Amino acid sequence: MNLLDGNGKNALQNFKNPFDKDGVEYVVFKIHRTPSIFRNDKKGEATVYFNKGNTDGSQKFYSDEFKDLVNQVDNFINSL
């Protein structure tokens, strides 16, 4: 793999971006009994996990309402 093209530019063009629809591995929803400062003072959280090759990551969402969490995740994935 060449990190640089013939002109010494575009060093990152060969890397695969995991943060697209094809990179979504799974989504986890959690609803807790009480809000937490670790969840932006909300009861619920959702995490979208990405993976492509050896690159991975996640995106978190917070809300007190399950339906709102689902809508946030759905809108996020559709925007990719």
What pLDDT digit, counting tens, does each position of 10-60 carry? 655 556 677 888 999 999 999 999 999 999 999 999 999 999 888 889 999
pLDDT band at 8 (very low <50, low <70, confident <90, very high): low
Residues 6+ apart with CB under 8 A from 56: 18, 25, 49, 50
Give domain limits for the chain: 24-79
Write down the pTM of the prediction: 0.78
pLDDT tens-place string over residues 18-31: 788 899 999 999 99
39, containing H or E segment: none
77 near 61, Cβ under 8 Å?
no
